[in-house]
Structure 1
Amino acid sequence: MEQKEIVHIISDSVGETAEFVVKAVAAQFNGGYIEIRRHPHVEEVEDIDPVIEAAKRQNAIIAYTLVVTSLKDYLDRRADEEGVIAVDLMNPLMEAFMKKFHKEPYHRPKLMRKLDEEYFKKIEAIEFAVKYDDGRDATGLKKADIVLLGVSRTSKTPLSMYLAHHSFKVANVPIVPEIDPPEELFTIPREKCVGLMIAPEKLNEIRKERIRAMGLKSDVNYASYDRIYEELAYAEKIMRKIRCPIIDVSNKAVEETASLIIEMFKNREELLK
């Protein structure tokens, strides 16, 4: 059996990027006979010497993705002294970026991992907003970062999705006079809740447009002022009972309301620090 050639991968993160590149190159040289040995989370020069010694002994190659200048310089120097081939997989592209965009890199490890974590956190928040939209599962109220409550057509769902894109887990609860709010709403911290109110005239206008879009009769109770006043009065009663902040969304775009909520929660986080 043909002996496998060895490639050592050194990374200040987990080494996935380097391994992917090495495998892509190895595929051009009968990659089945390449053995990859990964050395992740290298943060000290002391972590580098054993790899260089092993590579020298095995007549192996080192491929690395180190962004901390001191570590990279040390690896290059020691590999050269020991006659070991060490390939910097990031530097050519890094230099191209510097030349093209006239900017200096951060030289901080694990930034890609941080970006991945932020991406998955956002996806998780979006899935949460869909699952706990429109009060469909009250168990989500305890898990949520933010709980929105208001009558129908106060932009609870679009607000939930917008905030989810900022990585907030949002649940929303419709307030309807004929249906008691879920008990969980009165047991969670009031600081998590935000009430959404709207002027009767604006709500009448929005609901009439909604009725037209659905092809229903214009005289349905949903858009009548009597019904709107009843719903708003009940919603305000619930919000006062919870003692949550209330935002008037009458003439605000979703982005504007979301900005107010985000600012509100950021200020609270600062106070808790």
Structure 2
Amino acid sequence: MNERFHIHLISDSTGETTLGVLKASIAQFEGVEVQEHIWPMVRSTAQMEKVIQEIKENPGPVIFTLVSARLRQPLIEECTRLNVPCVSVLDPVIEAMAHFFNRQTVNRPGGQHTLNAEYFDRIEALHYVMAHDDGQAAQGVSEADLVLVGVSRTSKTPTSIYLANHYGLKTANVPFVPGITLPDALFHLPETLMVGLTASADRLVQIRRNRLLMLNQEPETDYVDIETVKAEISQARKLFSKNTWPVIDVTRRSIEETAAAIYQLYIRFHEEKETVDI
């Protein structure tokens, strides 16, 4: 039986950093369930008082990103009194950077969310993904930074969204369907990285069955026939191989892991092109 714990995530910004740290950390433990208490945009003493009261009522570890000493001090003191861990996840990184750069920090809450050029690049990339999802607007695919191709349910859309949101990459995705020819434009994109996505037949059948059940559709069709799915995967792999497109198997990868692997391919793709151009 899993043991359940309260964990408090406190931030003077969106709280995304604390949530990411918690998910990465909790994955290292078995038999543990956590109830997250998320407190974003905490920037006043009154707000911190409410947070501390909640921690008193539901004691548990605290993970925080707060730049204001005025807010940090009462939180740390209360956690010490309650004998619960209280961890500032950014302090070690910021202190190391400050020492290396020989600079003082500006203590700006949510500084990473400043509306700069990178922010607007991500927004533009997200718009592009939505307009070029699932083979739409093939005529504009030449503007893509990269194109994902794969059979149904290989996480093309969520991976495209993640790549746009986190890396600012304009990502188009195109389904591979046996018997349907891919747009000719895909084979004439020398400046665009093409990536094939695949997965095991068993995994695809499982995901597709769940999809059909959710849509209240007939559960027994060629769409979930194991032999048909294996043939789809085989044909897609032959296409990827013929065009020397790199392939990523998403069977045991999360969206984040798949996107990170694709981003590394993207960096390498452009490094190699720069070397050739030189």
Q: Deviations over 1:212-232 (max 9, x none)?
A: 111112212211113212211
Structure 1 counterpart of 2:243, one-letter code: I
Q: Which residue of 2 aligns with 1:117?
A: 117
The 3 A distance-change label for structure 1 pair 127 and 191 is: closer
Report if aligned partners of 1:98, 1:105 keep a CA contact under 8 Å in 2.
Answer: no
The share of aligned pairs that are identical, in percent, is 37
Gaps of 5+ in 1: 1-96
Q: Which residue of 1 aligns with 2:37?
A: none
Q: Which residue of 1 aligns with 2:4?
A: none
Q: Which residue of 1 aligns with 2:128?
A: 128
Is 1:201 the counterpart of 2:214? The answer is no
Q: Deviations over 1:73-121 (max 9, x none)?
A: xxxxxxxxxxxxxxxxxxxxxxxx8987997258xxxx99x84211111
Q: Which residue of 1 aligns with 2:220?
A: 219
The 3 A distance-change label for structure 1 pair 190 and 201 is: farther
Report if aligned partners of 2:178, 2:232 keep a CA contact under 8 Å in 1.
Answer: yes
Structure 1 counterpart of 2:203, one-letter code: K
TM-score, length-normalised on structure 2?
A: 0.57
1:155 positional shift: 0.2
Indicate the SS of the match to 2:149.
strand
Aligned counterparts of 1:218 and 1:203: Cα–Cα separation in 2:
14
Aligned counterparts of 1:115 and 1:268: Cα–Cα separation in 2:
29
Q: Deviations over 1:138-166 (max 9, x none)?
A: 12321100100000000000000000012
Aligned counterparts of 1:264 and 1:177: Cα–Cα separation in 2:
26
Gaps of 5+ in 2: 1-66, 71-90, 99-103
Report if aligned partners of 1:221, 1:227 keep a CA contact under 8 Å in 2.
Answer: yes
Matches within 5 A, 1:70-85: none
Q: Which residue of 1 aligns with 2:14?
A: none
Stretches (4+) displaced over 6 A: 97-103
Aligned counterparts of 1:265 and 1:185: Cα–Cα separation in 2:
17
1:251 positional shift: 1.1
Aligned counterparts of 2:224 and 2:138: Cα–Cα separation in 1:
27
Indicate the SS of the match to 2:148.
strand
Is 1:174 the counterpart of 2:170? The answer is no
Aligned counterparts of 1:144 and 1:191: Cα–Cα separation in 2:
7
Residues matched between the structures, number: 173
The 3 A distance-change label for structure 1 pair 135 and 215 is: same
Aligned counterparts of 1:98 and 1:199: Cα–Cα separation in 2:
49
TM-score, length-normalised on structure 1?
A: 0.58
- Which stretch of structure 1 is more off in the superposition, 258-267 or 155-164? 258-267
1:196 positional shift: 0.4
Aligned counterparts of 1:191 and 1:121: Cα–Cα separation in 2:
17
Q: Which residue of 1 aligns with 2:264?
A: 263
Structure 2 counterpart of 1:202, one-letter code: R
Aligned counterparts of 2:150 and 2:117: Cα–Cα separation in 1:
32
1:178 positional shift: 2.2
Structure 2 counterpart of 1:146, one-letter code: L
Q: Which residue of 2 aligns with 1:245?
A: 246
Report if aligned partners of 1:151, 1:235 keep a CA contact under 8 Å in 2.
Answer: yes
1:191 positional shift: 5.8
Aligned counterparts of 2:232 and 2:226: Cα–Cα separation in 1:
10
Q: Which residue of 2 aligns with 1:164?
A: 164
Report if aligned partners of 1:140, 1:171 keep a CA contact under 8 Å in 2.
Answer: no
Is 1:228 the counterpart of 2:229? The answer is yes
